[in-house]
């Protein structure tokens, strides 16, 4: 089974429709949009040889992301100092890394 098939199989096991998977990046990791679902999956392939502790770090990050968070609400008319997370804020100017 290749990485793309593995991503689709795991998605389906968890009830995610992945009828039209589209590869977004194919390098050390395979990044796949599991269309038509609004889900992007990453399949790590070669990094474990270069960074032996990466699997534990990825697991810890995933578990942290799954932790329940308090819902943030704003009063009507109140200004918020929080800014939306956008691709520009993540990748820096002109799509490059900051």
How would DSSP label each residue in 9-38? HHHHHTT---SEEEEEEESSEEEEEEETSS
Contact call for residues 1 and 9 (beta carbons, < 8 A): yes
pLDDT in 10s for each residue of the chain, 98 residues: 888 999 999 999 999 999 999 999 998 889 999 999 999 998 887 666 667 787 788 888 888 888 887 877 766 655 544 555 555 555 444 444 44
pLDDT at 77: 58
Contact call for residues 24 and 41 (beta carbons, < 8 A): no
Look-up of token digits 């960074």: 51
Compute the distance between CA of residue 66 and CA of residue 97 in angstroms, rounded to an integer: 26
């Amino acid at each position: 089974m290749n990485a793309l098939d593995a991503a689709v199989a795991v998605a389906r096991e968890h009830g995610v429709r992945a009828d039209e998977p589209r590869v977004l990046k194919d390098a050390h990791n395979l990044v796949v949009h599991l269309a038509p679902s609004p889900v992007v999956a990453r399949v790590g392939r070669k990094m474990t040889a270069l960074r032996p502790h990466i699997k534990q770090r990825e697991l810890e990050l995933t578990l942290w992301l799954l932790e329940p968070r308090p819902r943030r609400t704003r009063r009507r008319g109140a200004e918020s100092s929080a800014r939306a997370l956008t691709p520009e804020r993540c990748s820096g100017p002109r799509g490059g890394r900051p």
